[in-house]
Amino acid sequence: MTLPLIVAKSLRQHLLSTVVTAASIALAGGLLMAVWVVKTQSNDAFTKQNAGFDAVLGARSAKLQLVLNAIFHLEASPGNLPWTDYEDIAKNAAVALALPIAVGDNYHGYRLVGTTTNLFAVEHAPGRKYRVAEGEPFAAGYMEAVLGSFAARQLKLKVGDKFHPYHGLNFDEKQKHEELYVVTGILEPSNTPADRVIWIPLEGIQNMKGHDAKSAAEISAVLVKLKNPIAGRGLELMYNKQGNRLTFAWPIAQVVAELFGKIAWFDRVLELVAWLVAAVATGSVLASIYNSMNERRRDIAILRALGARAHTIFLAVVLECAAIAVLGMVAAFAVYLGITTVAAGIIRAETGVVLEPLAWHPILAWAPAAMIGLSALAGVIPAVKAYRTNVAENLVPVS
């Protein structure tokens, strides 16, 4: 009882410095956990995200650009390919399903992707197909659209609403197309990039007024589902090594992993910054307690005069530092949730990839343990000073 009481009283007596120091621990701890979780979850989410496909076939380009454009609906299309290329790969014995897509228009920044109704037969996750939750699928050849759930929510469009597409992948109000599309359905949330897309019939993009006439017989890419994922090796050899006109991006996870490999240095810089902030915060615990040692001397001397052992005082100071870190790390979870929620919102809005701030990650246990341990360790320095306090000198003036 005595030791916790001494610690609690001291924390209360130095309330302002306790709050300020705990706040710095909270910010540092929250940042550390958030950086780690966002980094690992986004890495996992992107590399596991294939929207239900094994590979992408497109115009000759970097595989990453092809995947970002066709799967994540980011980046510009590297170019078009003739419809016959779609027909060829669709007929290939190794291919279970081939889905042609065409891009080039948007509605208020949300990309229009032309495709066939085969989209609704694709399993984006085991046992889960792209399902229309409200309304019905678009009909081939009609100016109808099915919106991804996120796009529908952001655009405030509902079944029966009509809209004019805009030319290009970026919104420019001067680039309005004449065609008027009607929303026939809203997709069930899939937590894939498809949620951010406005899906329309392939012919819609191909025949949109103002588009190049030759694009009527072209597509932007083909999304490929293989009967056996290993079969991708043969197709990769055929398109990438033996041919020089097309690119077969396979396997998608590896292509995305290469992206993360290229920006791994950035992750390490972020980690380093987070650790430095954590080190500065634990240093602030040391500075805060150490600087208050002069005003604590009298209290320490009184406690010693009452019979408190020097090691009890030592332990009280170390525990006080640890207690500040405990208070800080409790608040750090609020900081962590704040940062990850904002980051998850931005990542979802920009890529459709969903992060889960509430999901368990080991950093959520060992970051608090590390911060509390480091703070207690930092407390050893002022604790030694407290241990060495001269009782007689600080108790009363020697007569």
φ/ψ (deg, to 5) at 357: -60, -30
Residue in the block written with tokens 């919106």: 147
Do 248 and 116 form a contact (C-beta atoms < 8 A)? no
Q: Which stretch binds other proteins (CB under 8 A): 2-10, 17-25, 245-253, 343-351?
A: 2-10
Nearer to other proteins, 160 or 397 (CB): 397
Among 259, 354, 364, 395, binds other proteins (CB under 8 A): 395
Nearer to other proteins, 153 or 311 (CB): 311
384 touches other proteins (CB under 8 A): no
308 touches other proteins (CB under 8 A): yes
Among 2, 170, 291, 294, binds other proteins (CB under 8 A): 2
The tokens for 149 are: 């759930």
> How far apart, in whole angstroms, are the C-alpha atoms of residue 181 and residue 141?
12
124 touches other proteins (CB under 8 A): no
Do 304 and 391 form a contact (C-beta atoms < 8 A)? yes
Among 7, 10, 143, 375, binds other proteins (CB under 8 A): 10
Among 126, 127, 160, 307, binds other proteins (CB under 8 A): 307
310 touches other proteins (CB under 8 A): yes
Q: 82 pairs with which residues across the strands?
A: 218
Nearer to other proteins, 230 or 302 (CB): 302
The HSE-up count of residue 187 (CA atoms within 13 Å, CB side) is 30
Query: Cα angle at 106 between 217 and 149, to 5 degrees?
Result: 110
304 touches other proteins (CB under 8 A): yes
Among 13, 84, 170, 291, binds other proteins (CB under 8 A): 13
The nearest distance, CB 328 to other proteins, in angstroms, is 22
The tokens for 79 are: 């170019």
Residues with Cβ within 8 Å of residue 241, at least 6 apart in sequence: none
Residue 388 burial (10 A CB sphere; 0-12, 13-18, 19+) = exposed
Catalog residues that contact other proteins under the rule CB under 8 A. 1-2, 5, 9-10, 12-13, 298-299, 301-312, 391-392, 395-399
